[in-house]
Amino acid sequence: MSKINILIVDSDKGWWIDIINDLKKRGFEVAVTERGADALREVGQRKYRAVVMETNLPDINGIKLSERLKEKDRSISIIFVTECRSIENSIRAIKGGANDYILKSSGSRKSLKKRVIKSIERALKKGQLEALNHKVEDEKDNYLTYKELTTGPVQDYNNILPDGSIFVYRGIVGKSKKMLELFRMIEKISSLPSTVLVEGESGTGKDLIARAIHEMSDRRMGPFVIVSCPAIPGTLIESELFGHEKGAFSDAARTRPGYFELANGGTIFFDEIGAMSKEFQVKLLRVLQEKRIRRIGGTEEIPVDVRVVSTTNSNLDELVKKGEFREDLYYRLNVIRIVVPPLRERKEDIPHLLEYFLKKYAAMFNKNVRSFSDNVIKILQEYHWPGNVRELENMVEHVVAIIDNKEEISETDIPDFDMYKIPRNSLKILVPITNYRFARDKFEREYLKSVLETCRWNISEASRVMGMTRQGLYKKLKRYNLVNYGDEN
């Protein structure tokens, strides 16, 4: 695979040495020029995916240069890293399509390096998806649908794939009523200072939504700092979040800022906040109330201006009731609540997600495959997707990775396809309009059958699911003549 080219434009080359080394280590090809004219020439000659630059250049204003570069290649990502504090400049830069505007004076060398690299990686990732979308958008001639969609209720439509069918809102695919409502909600709340709690089953896209909230907010120029609560060991969480002074404990060779300081001016994102220990909940509550932190071993109170967005897949309400999560913290985090519906409650999105991921992975693995057969789509749409979009994405990735030279995916191309055929948990029972006792018996028999089938006639498991004793269940099976039913069917 050819390497990804990144161009740095700055007359102060020395400033970049660490970053260049780091980028090279990550496998990027890096070129550096001092003047805008050279940058324009470079971009004319080679494909650069990202240009990282100063606004103060010896021959041309950086913002102007970025506009000229975008004219040459609209897919190029631009990141400013500059000494220029002008707000006007930063607004013009972002309006002109720059991905980021980072001030050289906004942190230590080390934290800046991290931030620049992160910003480049994020821009590349975004660029990759956009390129994919542009590619198919260029192919499409159905402007009507596009127009219909762009005049709809949601203000910001980023990408629509061929025939206008795929609808991507800031990287989130969704066209169902529930998702459109959610997008509208994101738009309404993103610029408010309030904390947001994003709730939903695992794999529903909570991370994407948290990020969209940040990107839509007026903090988008600031950092987005992710704190994965289950991943941080309890013993480290305090120093990770608040930082420490040199010598605060035996490993603290030098002063280090924590996540809160790094997120200053931006958003701090607590992923899976239900996993946070009670001890730590108290500390977090205090930061939210006082809006200042103290590094471990430090005496100075450092003010922090951050917006808190958290996600949870567990029902935090329940944890609060059980006394495992502090009620006062819960109310602080939950000023705005966004509930992401599970995929089985928005089946209309399934075909779009399938198409979207198919395009993504076909491009990534360089395959010819273009579609799923109608029959496959129909079955997958009825499947209950316990792992939600993550499960669906993994399935598509897997299928595309192993498929041979073929355009359409049929049943036989999907490993264990039969598994998708049983729409578990969906009980479709036609209850006759008749007297109550008869209808109830019919329902009960079908219910027992359905749960037992799902549990593959494992009586212990079925009785647990139904909340009955084994004996109780057995009695019912006898009554409905279902005792040997599983063996025969």
Enter the tokens of residue 318. 């329940």
The answer to whether the CB of 460 falls within 8 A of the CB of 452 is no
- Helix extents (H) in 190-225: 206-216
Task: Choose the one of Mg ion, ligand ADP, none that binds residue 203, judging by a C-beta under 5 to 8 angstroms depending on kind.
Answer: ligand ADP
Pick between residue 6 and residue 210 the one whose CB is nearest to Mg ion.
210
Q: How many CA atoms lie within 13 A of 181 on its CB side?
A: 8
Q: How far is the CB of 280 from ligand ADP (least distance, A)?
A: 21
**17, 228, 289, 312, 385 from 113: Cα distances, Å:** 10, 21, 31, 31, 40
The answer to whether the CB of 35 falls within 8 A of the CB of 57 is yes
Q: How far is the CB of 391 from ligand ADP (least distance, A)?
A: 9
Distance, CA of 169 to CA of 149 (rounded, Å) = 12
Distance, CA of 256 to CA of 362 (rounded, Å) = 43
Pick between residue 181 and residue 245 the one whose CB is nearest to ligand ADP.
181
Query: Does 391 help bind Mg ion (rule: CB under 5 A)?
Result: no
Q: How far is the CB of 102 from ligand ADP (least distance, A)?
A: 25
Cβ neighbourhood burial of 31 (10 Å; 0-12, 13-18, 19+): middle
Pick between residue 100 and residue 201 the one whose CB is nearest to ligand ADP.
201
Pick between residue 67 and residue 397 the one whose CB is nearest to ligand ADP.
397
Query: Does 165 help bind ligand ADP (rule: CB under 6 A)?
Result: no
Segment contacting ligand ADP (CB under 6 A): 26-34, 172-180, 242-250, 437-445? 172-180
Pick between residue 100 and residue 271 the one whose CB is nearest to ligand ADP.
271
The answer to whether the CB of 48 falls within 8 A of the CB of 5 is yes
Query: Does 203 help bind ligand ADP (rule: CB under 6 A)?
Result: yes
x/- track of binding to Mg ion for residues 178-207 (CB under 5 A): ----------------------------xx
The answer to whether the CB of 418 falls within 8 A of the CB of 380 is no
Query: Does 197 help bind ligand ADP (rule: CB under 6 A)?
Result: no
Segment contacting ligand ADP (CB under 6 A): 118-126, 170-178, 189-197, 245-253? 170-178
Distance, CA of 66 to CA of 487 (rounded, Å) = 71
Query: Does 173 help bind ligand ADP (rule: CB under 6 A)?
Result: yes
- Map the footprint of ligand ADP across residues 293-312, applying CB under 6 A: 311
Query: Does 226 help bind ligand ADP (rule: CB under 6 A)?
Result: no
Distance, CA of 393 to CA of 357 (rounded, Å) = 6
Interstrand relation of 243-244 and 50-53 (parallel, antiparallel or unpaired): unpaired
Distance, CA of 10 to CA of 104 (rounded, Å) = 12
Query: Does 358 help bind ligand ADP (rule: CB under 6 A)?
Result: no
Pick between residue 304 and residue 316 the one whose CB is nearest to ligand ADP.
316
Which phi and psi angles does 80 have, rounded to 5°?
A: -95, 135
Q: Order of strands, edge to edge, in the sheet holding 172-173?
A: 159-160, 167-169, 172-173
Q: How many CB atoms lie within 10 A of CB 414?
A: 21
Q: How far is the CB of 173 from ligand ADP (least distance, A)?
A: 4
Of the candidates 90, 78, 82, 93, the one whose C-alpha atom is nearest the C-alpha of residue 15 is 82
Please pick, from the candidates 174, 222, 341, 342, the single residue that binds ligand ADP as defined by CB under 6 A.
174
Query: Does 243 help bind ligand ADP (rule: CB under 6 A)?
Result: no
Pick between residue 76 and residue 340 the one whose CB is nearest to ligand ADP.
340
Distance, CA of 51 to CA of 311 (rounded, Å) = 33
Pick between residue 8 and residue 186 the one whose CB is nearest to ligand ADP.
186
Q: How far is the CB of 328 from Mg ion (least distance, A)?
A: 25
The answer to whether the CB of 362 falls within 8 A of the CB of 370 is yes
Interstrand relation of 307-312 and 159-160 (parallel, antiparallel or unpaired): unpaired
Pick between residue 206 and residue 360 the one whose CB is nearest to Mg ion.
206
Distance, CA of 7 to CA of 20 (rounded, Å) = 10
Please pick, from the candidates 62, 127, 164, 200, the single residue that binds ligand ADP as defined by CB under 6 A.
200
Distance, CA of 334 to CA of 159 (rounded, Å) = 31
Of the candidates 153, 160, 209, 155, the one whose C-alpha atom is nearest the C-alpha of residue 186 is 209
Task: Choose the one of Mg ion, ligand ADP, none that binds residue 257, judging by a C-beta under 5 to 8 angstroms depending on kind.
Answer: none
Q: How far is the CB of 231 from Mg ion (least distance, A)?
A: 11
Enter the tokens of residue 423. 């729409």
Pick between residue 96 and residue 230 the one whose CB is nearest to ligand ADP.
230
Query: Does 164 help bind ligand ADP (rule: CB under 6 A)?
Result: no
The answer to whether the CB of 172 falls within 8 A of the CB of 213 is no
Pick between residue 384 and residue 390 the one whose CB is nearest to Mg ion.
390
Please pick, from the candidates 116, 172, 237, 477, the single residue that binds ligand ADP as defined by CB under 6 A.
172
Query: Does 281 help bind ligand ADP (rule: CB under 6 A)?
Result: no
Pick between residue 207 and residue 245 the one whose CB is nearest to Mg ion.
207
Total residues at interface with ligand ADP (CB under 6 A): 15
x/- track of binding to ligand ADP for residues 97-126 (CB under 6 A): ------------------------------
Q: Which residue is nearest to Mg ion (CB)?
A: 207
Enter the tokens of residue 101. 């505007």
Footprint of ligand ADP (CB under 6 A): 172-174, 200, 202-208, 311, 389-390, 393
Footprint of Mg ion (CB under 5 A): 206-207
